[in-house]
Amino acid sequence: MILVAFTWSELAQQVVTGLRNGGIYASLALALVLIYRSTRVINFAQGELATFTTFVAWSLMNHGLGFWAAFPLVLAIAFLGGAAIERVVIRPVENASALTIVIVTLGLALLLNGLMNVIWGGGEKQFRGPFSTRTIQLGGVAISIQDIGVVAVSVAIVVLLGLFFRFTKLGLALRAAALNPASSRLVGVRVGWMLALGWGLAAVLGAVAGMMIAPIVFLDPNMMQTVLLYAFVAAALGGLDSPVGAVVGGLALGLLITLLGRYVGFVGETLKLPAALLVILLLLLVRPAGLFGRLAVRRV
């Protein structure tokens, strides 16, 4: 391999950029895992759902709201929208085969994409993020405030979600409903509502990812399509069943793509994506369940 000129300060910058992208992939991957765990279905509409809520944020900000005023409002709208979609669109096909549900989520993605084109038009829009793109010096390393902010927000959301799952009764019920719906019903958990809650939370994660990436790229109806692809890869790398895996998978993928592109000479900008995917493919050949995917231990 041909190594490219190397300095520590540049490595630090690259790592932060990688983690920034990784944090966004991780949020969306986590959304996929949340829904997969409870329904065994990959939600192909997760990306469009995220973009849609980002457009809602854009509209609110166009009506004079600041980013941080719009932020909780958008999260609430995303939550209700996600839960409503589960009740209205997914519920009727709940007992159908996984393939049927996958097709329904694909249809939902197309529908949302069309709606965005109708409501907001197809062109790219500038989305003013909450963080300045200025760089600051941290121990001789120049790092953009935006990158730090995106990483911080992603981490905060993931930590909050983890606390919710671990320490609240509702979070426990949500996990239980995914693991063993029959037993959950017997202790009084309303499993149907838990699925709606899961979709709501997934939509919230998607909305965060959308609002974090929109200032970096431009906002347009297809904005999340590539990101969704990365999120799939991140989730598969971490193990589709594992929320921790989704986060680690997302961060690892972000780092891998950035560092391969920068430091491995023949890879460069053009080959960084296939190179990263190749590494992950090899890894999955060794560990098909992903890094954190595990089988439940049972003794009888």
Partner 1 sequence: MPLLELVDVEASYGPVKALHGVSLAVEEGELAAVLGANGAGKTTTLRAISGVVRRSGSIVFAGKKLPRRPESTARLGIAHVPEGRGTFSELSVWDNLRLGGYTRRSGTKEDARRVFEFFPQLEERRLQQAGTLSGGEQQMLALGRALMQRPRLLLLDEPSLGLAPLVVEEIFGALERMNEQDGTTIVVVEQNARLALRAARRAYVLEVGRVVLGGPSEELRANESVRKSYLG
The residues near 272 (Cβ < 8 Å, ≥ 6 apart) are: 257, 258, 260, 261
Is 184 a binding residue for partner 1 by CB under 8 A? The answer is yes
**The one segment of 42-50, 87-95, 187-195, 247-255 that binds partner 1 by CB under 8 A:** 187-195
**Burial level of 201, CB count in 10 A (0-12/13-18/19+)?**
buried
Is 169 a binding residue for partner 1 by CB under 8 A? The answer is yes
Binding mask 116-145 for partner 1 (x = CB under 8 A): ------------------------------
Core vs surface per residue 228-243: b (16+ CB within 10 A) or e: bebbbbbbbbbbbbbb
Nearer to partner 1, 180 or 225 (CB): 180
Nearer to partner 1, 173 or 257 (CB): 173
Is 289 a binding residue for partner 1 by CB under 8 A? The answer is no
Residue from 40, 91, 128, 185 touching partner 1 (CB under 8 A): that is 185
Residue from 4, 73, 118, 179 touching partner 1 (CB under 8 A): that is 179
CB 135 within 8 A of CB 129: no
Residue from 12, 89, 175, 244 touching partner 1 (CB under 8 A): that is 175
Strands 141-144 and 135-138: antiparallel
Is 163 a binding residue for partner 1 by CB under 8 A? The answer is no
Binding site for partner 1 (CB under 8 A): 169, 172-173, 175-176, 179-180, 182-191, 296-300
